[in-house]
Amino acid sequence: MKIVYSGIIGEIIGKSIEYIDTAREVKVEELIEILVEKYSVLREWLSKIPIILVQVNGVDSTNSTIIHDGDEVAIYTPLYEGG
């Protein structure tokens, strides 16, 4: 699968695109667990700000959304305006 990291997530792990090969279909929550194990800095960041958004093939997803081989996953943080 192709993973596109946007905004602060890409800055944290130091890349904007990554390809991951999984032996089976995975749920979004399983992918996040894989990434947190791979990138300890992501684990640290999520412990402070545990909000990320995930799209699979351009569609908003939930933790239970199934990701298939060849899917494109976008991971990003919500945009907001401070004041």
* pLDDT, position 49: 73
Q: For residues 27 and 54, give the distance between their C-alpha atoms in angstroms, rounded to a whole number.
A: 11
Domain residues for the domain of 51 are 2-76
Q: What CATH number is attached to the domain comprising 54?
A: 3.10.20.30
- Is residue 9 assigned to a domain? yes
**DSSP one-letter code for 23:** S
- Is residue 83 assigned to a domain? no
- Is residue 82 assigned to a domain? no
31 CA to centre of own chain: 7
pLDDT string in tens for the chain (83-residue length): 999 998 888 888 899 999 998 888 999 999 999 999 999 888 888 887 778 899 999 999 999 999 998 999 999 987 654 44
- Is residue 81 assigned to a domain? no
**Number of domains making up the chain:** 1
β-pair type (26-27, 53-56): unpaired
- Is residue 33 assigned to a domain? yes
